[in-house]
Amino acid sequence: MSVPSLPPTAFDEQAAVADIAGIEPRGRMAFLRAPALRRPSMLFGLGVVVFFVLVAIFAPLLEPYDPRAKTGAVYEAPSSAHWLGTDDGGADMLSLVIAGSRVSLIVGFAAALVAMLIGGTIGLWSGFYGGKSDTILMRITDYVLVIPDIPLMIIIAALFGRSLTNIILIIGIIYWTSTARLIRAQTKSVRERAYVTRARALGARNQRLIGKHVLPQVMPLLIANTVLTVAIAIFAETYITFLGLGDPSLISWGRLIENAFTGDAVLNDAWWAIVPPGVCVTLVILACTMIGMAMEDALNPRLRVGHLSVRRFRLRPLKGALETE
Amino acid sequence: MTAPLLQVENLHVWFDLEGGGELHAVQGVSFDLAEGERVGLVGESGCGKTTAILAVMGLLPPSASIAGKVFLDGEDILAQGEETMSPHRWVDVAMVFQGAMNAFNPVKTVGEQIVEPMELHGTASGKQARQQAGELLERVGIPAARASSYPHQFSGGMRQRAAIAMALACTPKVLLADEPTTALDVMVQAQILQLLVGLAADFGLALILVTHDLPIVAQVCERAAVMYAGEIVELGPTDALYHDPRHPYTRLLFAATPDLYGEDAVVSIPGTPPRLDRELTGCPFAPRCDSSFAPCATVKPKLISTAADHTAACHLNDPALKAAS
Amino acid sequence: MSTGAENGKPPLLEVEDLVTRFPVPRGFVGAASRRPKLAVRAVDGVSFSLRKGEMLALVGESGSGKTTTAQSILRLVEPESGTIRFLGEDITKVGSGRMRSVRRHAQLIFQDPYESLDPRFRVRDTVEEPLIVHGEGGGHSEREERVRDALTRAGMTPPELFLDRFPHELSGGQRQRTAIAASLVLDPQLLVADEPVSMLDVSVRAGILSLLDELRRTGLGILMITHDLSTAAHFADRIAVMYLGRIVEEGSARDVVRDPKHPYTKALLSVVPQRDPRATTTPQILKGETPNPIAIPPGCRFNPRCPIAIPECRATDPELRSPAGARAGHEAACIRA
C-alpha cells in the first residue's frame, strides 16, 4: 500500500493567522529592551552623564559665586560659605567645578562627534568599496594611529593656536582611528549579507545600498563606539589643558587641575583644589565607558563570555502528573 | 529477549526562558536501543530531537532541567546528574554533533584531536593512543598517515569521517549522530551512511541517527521514531512507518518529501508547530491535521500499540474513540 | 544543442559556451618565484537555453559550478567568455546602465530566507524596494497596490496581515514567500532560484515549490539551482546535470531520471535515498570526492572516478550529444553512452 495521495494544500488564511498568533511584534527598536541595557552599570552611567549634562546646561544658575571673582582667601579650606574651598586666586571651587563642566563636556561631545564623522566615513567607504581605496585609507589610518598623540597635539597647538575649536579638532583628528577600523570591519561583514547582494542584484545603486541597507546596520555600533570616544575625548581635553595647551581664558576641569598644579596646591595641602575636578573627570569617563560597553553588549550578543565552568544541568523529580500509566 | 542496551524512559527537558517561564522542549520521550541496532529519530526543526539526545549525553546548559531515566546496560546514568553521567560519556555513549566537521580545533592536528578523548578518559595514552588513532582513521576510510594533517587540509567529507573517528575514540557502545550528512553532497552522504551502517554491523555499535531527512532514515534505519512538538508521535519499523503510518503527521511528512520516481503530488503541511512555552490541550498536531475529529482538540492522545513493536499517539487508532465519534 | 527558438521567437534565455574563472592569488612569494597563474575554472563551457513557462533545474554537487553559472548569467560575477542572450539580446558585455534595466526582468531568489531579507525593513518595504529602485509605480498608493498584488501572488494572503511585519516575525516559509513577492513585483520574465527550499523544513517546501510551479504556468521561466535530485525530478521540466563546470547530461526531467545516459548521472541517481524502505537500488558509491576545480583532470573530467572509464577517456573531452536510443533533446557528454 503506497502513501495515499493528497491534493496539494494551498496556503490558507487560517494557517496564516495561526502562524503569527503566537508572535508578538517587536519592531525595529526591540534591542532597546535588551536585558544588557538594564544592567546597573548602564543605569548608573546614564544617571551620571545626565546629571553632569544638566549641571553643564544650568551652570550659570547653579554657581553660588562668580567663578572668576575673588570671593574668599587663597586656598581657603571647605566651609559652609565655600563648600569646596577656594583656589589659589580665592575663587570659589564649587563654582569653578560647575563652570568647568561646560567646556569639558562640550569638548568631549564635539570632539567625539568629529572623530565619529571622520572615522565613520572612512570606515564605511573602506569597508564598502574595498580594493585600492580600502588599502590607501587603511594605510593612512595606520600612520595616524602610530603618531604619538601628545607630541602631535603640542605641535598643532603651537602652530594653530589654542582656541576651543582647535582643541576640539585636534582631539577629533587624532582619535578617529579605532572607530574607522571597527566600522570598516562591521561594514565589510554587513556588505556580504544576502540581503545586500539581493538588493544589488535587483539593481540598487551604491548610494541606496549604503544609505538604506548598510548604514542602518552599522549605525548602532557607531553610536556605541562614539559614546566610548566621548570618554576618551574628555580625558584628552583634560591632559591637553593640563599640559598648558588649552585656551587660557576658558575654565575647564583640566584647567582647574593645571591651575592647582602650577599654583602649588599640594604644597599648601589644598586637596580641594585638585580632587573635585579629578573626581568629576573620572566619574564622567567611567559613566560613558559603562554606557558604551552596555550598548556594545546589547548590540553584539556574542561579546558575552560563555560559561567556562563544567555545565551542570539540573535534575527534577518526576511529579505525579507526568508519570506515564 | 535480551535487555536493550540503552533505554530512555519518560525523558523531559525544560529550558528556563529569559524573563521567566519555561520551554518544555522534550515531553516524555521513551525509546530503547539494542546492540547493533540502527534507530532513526526524525522530525523537523524545533521538535526536540537534538535536545533529547543531548539530554542522553548530559550535555545541556545550566538553564536546562531534566527529568526521567536513561538506562545504559540496566544502570540509570541520569540518576545523580553529572556524577553518574560523566564516567559513561564518550566511553559508552558518544556523539557526532551537528556541524561536527566545522568544530575542529584548527591549530591541532586531526590525530591529536582523536587522541585527546582517549587520554582524557584514560583509555589509552602516548604511543598506544596514537596507534589506535591511526587505526580509527583507517576504519573510517582515511589513510592513517593523514593523522598529522590539520583539519583545514581535509575536505568536508573527510572531516565528517574524522569526527566519527573521534566519537569512536573510546570504543563506545552507543553512537548518537545528529544530522551527520546534512551539509554534505549526496555522494559523500552515501559514503558516510555506508560507513555508519558498516560500523554498526561490524562492531555491534548501536546507532541513533537524528535527522529531518526521512529518506535517509528509510534506507539506513530499521526502526524510527517520529517527533513532533517535543514528543514521539509514532515509533516502529521504518517499513511500517512508510507502508502503514498510524499518525497523520508521519503520513504527511512522507507525502511532503519528493521522491525520485514517485508520481504522487508532493504536499505541504499548513501552519507551524505549537509553542512549547505554554500548556497545550489536546493533540499538539490537531490544528494542522487533515483527519482531526471531535476528541482531538481536548484530549491528548497517548502512545498506543497498534501492532507488534509499533506505537502511535493518535486517537484514530483508538477503536473506542472512533466508534464514539 | 537543445531546441532553442519556438514559434520563431527566441527563447527566454540562451547561454553559449559560458566560461567563468576565478584567479587564485599567487601572493608576493608566488609572484616573485614566478609560480604559474592558477585559476579556478568554476564554469568551463556551459550552454543551455530556457523557454518561457519552463523550469530548468541545474543539478550538481559542490564544485560543479551551478551557483557560479547562475551568478554569471545575471552578471553578479563577470564571465570570462561566452554569450548570454536574454530575450534575444546579448547581455554578456553590456554596461551597468543597460544591465540595470535587464535586471527588472530577471530576478534572483536566494537560498537563505533568514538572511536574504533586511531585518530592518518591513515586508512592505522589502517588496516595495524594486519599484523604488527602478522608479516604477507612480505614487505611494499605486505602489502599495502592486505590493499587495505581489504578496497575493506569492501566497501571502491576506496581505494586510503581513505588510507591517518584520522578518523576525515571520516563519521561514513566509520569509521566502516575501522574497518571492519582492521578485514578482516588477513582473519579471525570468526567475533564478538558488536552492530556494534547502533551508526550509520539509513540510513547508512543497508549498514554495508549488508556488514556483504555478508561476511557471503563468509564463515565467524558472532556472532552479539545486543539489536535490528528488526535488528536480518532481518539479522541473528539464534537468541539466553539472560536474566540474560542465553540463554532463541534459534532457527532460523524466528522461534524465528514468533513463540516465551519463555514468555520473547514473551513480548520482543510485545513491539518492528513497522514501520507501523497500526500494531496492544498488548504490554506486563513487570513490573519493569531486576534485578541486583548480586541477581539472585531462580528457573527460569525470574519468578518474568513472566506473566504466576506458583508456580513451583520458584522451578525449567529450561533447554533449544525443546518444543512440535517446529521445530528442536528451544529451550526454560521454563517449560510451
Segment C82-124, tens digit of pLDDT: 999 999 899 998 888 888 889 889 999 998 988 899 988 999 9
The answer, yes or no, to whether residue C29 has pLDDT greater than 80, is no
Task: Give residue B138's pLDDT.
Answer: 93
Q: Which of B258, B262, B269 has its CB closest to that of C203?
A: B269
Nearest to residue B206, comparing CAs of B13, B50, B40?
A: B40
Above pLDDT 70, what percent of chain B?
98
Query: C130 in contact with A at a CB cutoff of 8 Å?
Result: yes
Query: Who wins on pLDDT, C236 or B182?
Result: C236
Beta bridge partners of A315: B66
Chain B: partners with 3+ C-beta pairs within 8 Å: A, C
Grid cell 498536531 is found at B285
- Look at the alpha carbons of A97, A102, A106, A107 in this order and tell me if their dihedral is positive or negative: negative
Task: Give residue A301's pLDDT.
Answer: 54
ipTM: 0.88
Query: A80 in contact with B at a CB cutoff of 8 Å?
Result: no
CB B214 within 8 A of CB B41: no
Segment B58-78, tens digit of pLDDT: 888 888 889 999 999 888 988
Helix (H), strand (E) counts: chain B: 10, 12
Query: B42 in contact with C at a CB cutoff of 8 Å?
Result: no
Task: Give residue C194's pLDDT.
Answer: 93
Chain C: partners with 3+ C-beta pairs within 8 Å: A, B
Nearest chain A CA: its distance from C270 CA (Å): 21
pLDDT under 70: residue ranges of chain A: 1-37, 300-311, 318-325
Q: Which of residues 302-321 of A touch B (CB under 8 A)?
A: 307, 310-318
Q: For residues B5 and B7, what is the distance between their CA atoms, to the nearest angstrom?
A: 7
Average pLDDT over residues B180-205: 90
One-letter amino acid identity for C260? P
Q: Which of C116, C120, C207 has its CB closest to that of A216?
A: C120
- The whole-model pTM stands at 0.84
Segment C164-219, tens digit of pLDDT: 999 988 888 999 999 999 999 999 999 999 999 988 888 889 999 999 999 999 99
Contacts of B64 in chain A (CB under 8 A): 313-314
Nearest chain B CA: its distance from C268 CA (Å): 7
* Residue of chain A whose alpha carbon sits nearest to that of C103: A202
Chain A interface disruption, residue of C78, C114, C129, C186, most A CBs within 10 A: C129
Segment C121-144, tens digit of pLDDT: 999 999 999 999 998 878 889 999
Contacts of A317 in chain B (CB under 8 A): 67
Average pLDDT over residues B74-92: 87
Q: How do the residues of chain C divide into helix, strand and coil, expressed in percent and rounded to 5?
A: 35, 20, 45
| CB neighbour class for C136 (10 Å; exposed up to 12, middle 13-18, buried from 19) | middle
Average pLDDT over residues C14-34: 81
C19: left (phi over 0), alpha (psi -120 to 50) or beta: beta
Nearest chain B CA: its distance from A322 CA (Å): 8
Q: Which of B82, B268, B287 has its CB closest to that of A9?
A: B268
Q: What are phi and psi for residue C317, nearest 5 degrees?
A: -100, 105
Grid cell, residue C278, equals 523497500
Q: For residues C157 and C144, what is the distance between their CA atoms, to the nearest angstrom?
A: 15
Segment C6-17, tens digit of pLDDT: 455 678 999 999
